[in-house]
Amino acid sequence: MTNRSVLVTGSSRGIGRAVAEAFASAGDRVAIHHRASPKLAADLLASLPGTGHTVVQADLADPGAVRSMVDTAAERLGGLDVLVNNAANYSAHPITEVSYEQWQAAWQSTVGVNLIGSANVTWCAVRHMIAGGGGRIVNVSSRGAFRGEPNQPAYGASKAGLNAFGQSLAKALAPHNISVAAVAPGFVETDMAAGHLQGAGGEAIRAQSPFGRVARPDEIASAVLFLASPQAEWASGAILDLNGASYLRT
């Protein structure tokens, strides 16, 4: 039983939900963040083991809402020990197939949440971590940061930026006893990926891995839980690939 205070962004479903469940099962108090899914967040809150959990809401593209959300989470949890930057936007916008207006909108919404939103959440959370004597930050990146995303270029770029951001902070925050690491999954069985995993397209995606499948959310959550643990301080700056050998970077 670890009894830490944990904020997981985008945790009403998918990977974030599994991460919240993993921390709660380990004995931590969890702030479940959502943008516009109050029913899903409430259902998760009711199902989590342990006590002291809470739900917070914010559009991560709104800096003022972000600051209020993080401060509320810290107040309700009695501080903030762990931040998991999981929330993300993902949309198709192939450069040869969308209008200039669609292109701009995709970049603004994707980078605004995945990178700038995560940066703002982190700035706010770090103030509470320093006050509490340290902490852990785990960013949920993507295989797409390394292999490229031709149909979702803003997503790939935002995740590559998140990696660079996290490694910069790993150096900046170590003197404050805060470690920063990342996980980089490939496809995961989530609502966001459901459309891609159906039919012949899904078979091709599963065939990318020699295991012939995609990841389960709980597999990603287990890695996040480890990187946030006291034993993983020396992993600060690391980016852990979790793609079933579907993409091997050097």
Judge contact between 28 and 53, C-beta under 8 A. Answer: no
Single out the residue of 156, 220, 181 nearest to residue 82, CA to CA. 181
**In angstroms, rounded to a whole number, what is the distance separating the alpha carbons of residues 237 and 169?**
8
Task: Report the relative pairing of strands 82-85 and 239-242 from DSSP bridges.
Answer: unpaired
Cα angle 67, 193, 35; round to 5: 20
Other Cβ atoms less than 10 A from the Cβ of 237: the count is: 16
Task: Name the strand (E) or helix (H) holding 205.
Answer: helix 199-206
The CB density around residue 48, as the number of other CB atoms within 10 Å, is: 19
Write down the catalytic residue from 90, 100, 155, 247: 155
Q: Are 179 and 232 in contact (CB under 8 A)?
A: yes
Q: Given the structure tokens 């401060």, which residue do they identify? A: 71
Catalytic residue check, 155: yes
Residue ranges with strand state E in the chain:
5-8, 29-34, 54-57, 82-85, 135-140, 178-185, 239-242
> Residues, the chain, total?
250
User: Which residues are marked as active site?
Assistant: 155
